[in-house]
Amino acid sequence: MELKIELTRQPKEKPADENKLSFGHIFTDHMFVMDWDKEHGWHDAKIVPFAPILMSPAATCLHYGQEVFEGMKAYRTESGEIRLFRPQENFRRMNESHDRICIPKFDEAFLLEALKKLIEIDADWVPHTYGTSLYIRPFTIGTEESLGAHSSTKYKFLIIMSPSGAYYEGGLAPVKIYVETKYVRATPGGTGFAKTGGNYAASLKAQDVAAEEGYSQVLWLDGVHRKYVEEVGAMNVFFVLGDEIVTPELDGSILSGITRKSAVEILRSWGYKVSERALDIQELVDAYHAGTLKEAFGTGTAAVISPIGELKYNDLVMEINHNEIGEISQRLYDELTGIQWGKVEDRFNWIVKVK
Amino acid sequence: MELKIELTRQPKEKPADENKLSFGHIFTDHMFVMDWDKEHGWHDAKIVPFAPILMSPAATCLHYGQEVFEGMKAYRTESGEIRLFRPQENFRRMNESHDRICIPKFDEAFLLEALKKLIEIDADWVPHTYGTSLYIRPFTIGTEESLGAHSSTKYKFLIIMSPSGAYYEGGLAPVKIYVETKYVRATPGGTGFAKTGGNYAASLKAQDVAAEEGYSQVLWLDGVHRKYVEEVGAMNVFFVLGDEIVTPELDGSILSGITRKSAVEILRSWGYKVSERALDIQELVDAYHAGTLKEAFGTGTAAVISPIGELKYNDLVMEINHNEIGEISQRLYDELTGIQWGKVEDRFNWIVKVK
């Protein structure tokens, strides 16, 4: 497929202070757009100036939730090189999300090349300060003008990009987590493994309740037994139990995180015993009382590693590692961010250079 | 709140043949729009010409599924009167959907008045042929331009309207239903009771599989035990078992249908025993073998009553009432549509006249 390019004639001013970048409010000069219909399949791929899109109020994505997204980052090294972290994994997962909610699949290799071209054009938007990055948001939406509750017959695939600040402005810091017992995020047979809008809409209520109680995220339990640990907020979760590191297995209701997968590979390469298995919340409580719950942390693209300092389950407040960053959490954070920003050798070949 | 009105200067041509109206493709001349932000709450309510909306590609509704909708109809009687069926129930339910996914609630009485005004302005778009109607779609979407995964700080509430054909062109007809055993639509603790996009996106895959096998809808089982009957497609479901009429109880994962509620009230007024309770799929199988599964039907705004002629559960194909319309299904259909189109006395005071 050909990739058409239309450059902006009105470049925007870039953010003056990279230390004051927040997340997801500023957008670069260009975006990628591609359309799908039954006659042409995916077609008309182009890079155009970032601009609002004109949408029918009857567009299916506004009613029936056919929307899928991904999140990744471009990092600038000290030498000025721009690089991506395992982007193939994002496009592969995006196609799996597409499949679950009946959006046609796309050519992953073509999209990676289109993304590299888009970043090349907007290269000056990749911030220079260590810890900052260019956040990349590919997403697909159903755009047929129809109120029939069926799969859309038209789609748009877009990539927009946003320079983003360092997640931890004052360095890595532990968070307080609330174990959610009322609301459910996902269930086997549902859409939990897909990055689709409905999963996020479903999670907002619990997040609001947790925030009111002073907790920054919720720990989700499974929807069937209401006892197996699933995710923490929008991150995967790991627990150090004695000399075993446990993360919930991918059972269909958990997102297959790329940071999760990378963490498992790094930890195993260091000789740790990592188990992907069912983890009963009662096992965590027992380990806490026995003194073997040593560390806990979330993994995700935004925070990379998010150490958990406190876990509240019903009336029990469990302080973990004296509410300090654990040794494994810190080492993993340094290794992953080191690979991403080019300070540590890329021994797994995870980096894709933009140019 | 003031309701501003801007009439179109370019009225569209109305559909020439009311017998060829399909569903949800043609829209009237006007729509209702209202905005929400933290400073003003719901504000700037207006009726304006139907037109595409300009939307940031970073609008939250395109990523995180914060979208809620309702569906109702305006009916034209033989004498030309235009009427709504229990519209207060739709706006009440819409606010419950809002609450579940953290969208601010709205003033239901104001919205009903605004809707009546909108229909009055587009009154000529309400079709005249018996069985046709003006489909009404109120919906709310998060519109903040931000990639942060939190509740939107801006929303739009819209009402669009579409003249729609008779659901059963050749009269009431039984449908074939496939009992879904792999995919799950909703779970207690989730969003099943809310009319929000994610529930519909989650259901598409199973619908596609059922359609490939020649079935028009799926019967959903509960996500925890995978055995209790929930809904059929996007309708509630009723079974006549001996002299008991059973419909699944509202457990949080089932939509609280307005046609469902009305059917229960009408059936009870006729002296039938109606039970809202858990219904194990095995109980249906047993009743089928015992000869006591007499009728089955779906209820919803679109079809009103949809008789089920065949139910496939794993390898068992159950023909119901010789694949013919049951006596109760037909009587209920006649009563409900009779009330809606003004052919039967509105003894429950369900009708709201537009003018």
Mean pLDDT by 10 residues, chain B (355 residues): 97 92 94 98 98 98 98 96 98 98 98 98 95 96 96 98 86 91 94 96 95 94 97 95 97 96 98 98 98 98 95 97 96 96 97 93
Q: Is A252 an interface residue toward B (CB < 8 Å)?
A: no
Q: Which residue of A has its CA nearest to B164?
A: A147
C-alpha pair distances (Å), A262 with each of A22, A89, A256, B16:
26, 11, 11, 61
pLDDT value of position B178: 95
Cα B172 to Cα B226: distance, rounded to the nearest angstrom: 31
| pLDDT, mean of residues A169-175 | 82
**Among candidates B306, B308, B335, which has minimal Cα distance to B320?**
B308
Topology (CATH) of A175-340: D-amino Acid Aminotransferase; Chain A, domain 2 (3.20.10)
Structure ipTM: 0.97
Is the separation of the CB atoms in B254 and B238 below 8 Å? no
Q: Is A147 an interface residue toward B (CB < 8 Å)?
A: yes
Q: Is A64 an interface residue toward B (CB < 8 Å)?
A: yes
Cα A54 to Cα A48: distance, rounded to the nearest angstrom: 14
What count of Cα atoms within 13 Å lies in the side-chain half-sphere of residue B142?
33
pLDDT value of position B173: 87
**Percent of chain A scoring above 70 in pLDDT:** 99
Side chain identity at residue B114, one-letter code: A
The terminus-to-terminus CA distance of chain B in angstroms comes to 21
Cα B189 to Cα B200: distance, rounded to the nearest angstrom: 17
Provide the sign of the torsion angle of the four alpha carbons A161, A162, A168, A171, taken in this order: positive
pLDDT value of position B172: 83
Kindly list the residues from chain B whose CB atom is less than 8 angstroms away from the CB atom of residue A223.
187-190, 223-224
The length of chain A is 355
Q: How does pLDDT run across A330-353, given as a tens digit for each residue?
A: 999 999 999 999 999 999 999 999
CATH architecture of the domain with residue range B4-164: 2-Layer Sandwich (3.30)
Which tokens belong to A212?
A: 């009111």
Q: Which of A33, A73, A191 to mutate to test the interface with B (most CBs of B within 10 A)?
A: A191
Question: Would you call A317 helix, strand, or coil by DSSP?
Answer: strand
Residues 162-191 of A with CB under 8 A from B: 162, 182-191
pLDDT at A171 over 80: no
Kindly list the residues from chain B whose CB atom is less than 8 angstroms away from the CB atom of residue A150.
204, 207
pLDDT at A168 over 80: no
Which tokens belong to B62?
A: 């395109």
Cα B34 to Cα B32: distance, rounded to the nearest angstrom: 7
pLDDT value of position B283: 98
Determine whether the interchain pair B67/A63 forms a contact, defined as Cβ–Cβ distance below 8 Å. Answer: yes
The CA distance from A40 to the nearest CA of chain B, in Å, is 21
**Percent of chain A scoring above 90 in pLDDT:** 93
Is the separation of the CB atoms in B296 and B238 below 8 Å? yes
Determine whether the interchain pair B64/A201 forms a contact, defined as Cβ–Cβ distance below 8 Å. Answer: yes
Kindly list the residues from chain B whose CB atom is less than 8 angstroms away from the CB atom of residue A198.
65, 191, 196-199, 201-202
Q: Which residue of B has its CA nearest to A142?
A: B62
Question: Would you call A81 helix, strand, or coil by DSSP?
Answer: coil
Determine whether the interchain pair B160/A57 forms a contact, defined as Cβ–Cβ distance below 8 Å. Answer: yes
Cα A252 to Cα A191: distance, rounded to the nearest angstrom: 8
Question: Would you call A136 helix, strand, or coil by DSSP?
Answer: strand
Q: How does pLDDT run across A213-247, given as a tens digit for each residue?
A: 999 999 999 999 999 999 998 899 999 999 999 99
Cα A313 to Cα B93: distance, rounded to the nearest angstrom: 32
Q: Which residue of B has its CA nearest to A163?
A: B147
Per-residue pLDDT band for A181 (boundaries 50, 70, 90) equals very high
pLDDT value of position B22: 87
Average pLDDT for chain A: 96
Kindly list the residues from chain A whose CB atom is less than 8 angstroms away from the CB atom of residue B57.
31, 50, 52-53, 139, 158, 160
Q: Is A12 an interface residue toward B (CB < 8 Å)?
A: no
Q: Which of A200, A226, A230, A232 to mutate to test the interface with B (most CBs of B within 10 A)?
A: A200
C-alpha pair distances (Å), B93 with each of B12, B68, B106, B196:
32, 10, 11, 11
Task: Name the residue with tokens 């695939």.
Answer: A157
Per-residue exposure over A22-57, b if at least 16 CB sit within 10 Å of its own CB, e if not: ebbbbbbbbbbbbbbbeeeebeebbbeebeebebbb
Strand positions, DSSP E, A1-148: 4-5, 30-37, 41-49, 53-55, 67-69, 72-76, 82-85, 133-142
Cα B174 to Cα B239: distance, rounded to the nearest angstrom: 14
Q: Name the strand (E) or helix (H) holding A157.
A: strand A154-164
pLDDT value of position A44: 98
Which tokens belong to A116?
A: 């590299």
Q: How does pLDDT run across A278-296, given as a tens digit for each residue?
A: 999 999 999 999 999 999 9
Provide the sign of the torsion angle of the four alpha carbons B231, B232, B235, B240, taken in this order: negative
Determine whether the interchain pair B23/A147 forms a contact, defined as Cβ–Cβ distance below 8 Å. Answer: yes
Per-residue pLDDT band for A11 (boundaries 50, 70, 90) equals very high
pLDDT value of position A173: 87
Kindly list the residues from chain B whose CB atom is less than 8 angstroms away from the CB atom of residue A188.
184, 223
Determine whether the interchain pair A201/B162 forms a contact, defined as Cβ–Cβ distance below 8 Å. Answer: no
pLDDT value of position A113: 98
Cα B62 to Cα A196: distance, rounded to the nearest angstrom: 10
Q: Which residue of B has its CA nearest to A159?
A: B57
Q: How many beta-carbon pairs below 8 A join chains A and B?
A: 212
Q: Name the strand (E) or helix (H) holding A98.
A: helix A87-100
Q: How does pLDDT run across A129-143, given as a tens digit for each residue?
A: 988 999 999 999 999
pLDDT at A191 over 90: yes
Kindly list the residues from chain B whose CB atom is less than 8 angstroms away from the CB atom of residue A62.
61, 67, 139, 141, 197
Domain residue limits, chain A: 4-164, 175-340
| Cβ contacts of B224 within 8 Å, gap of 6 or more | A187, A223, A224, B187, B188
Is the separation of the CB atoms in B161 and A166 below 8 Å? no
C-alpha pair distances (Å), A153 with each of A64, A69, A149, B145, B234:
13, 19, 11, 26, 20
Cα B48 to Cα B158: distance, rounded to the nearest angstrom: 11
The minimal CB distance from B224 to the residues A52, A145, A224 is found for A224
Cα A221 to Cα A310: distance, rounded to the nearest angstrom: 17
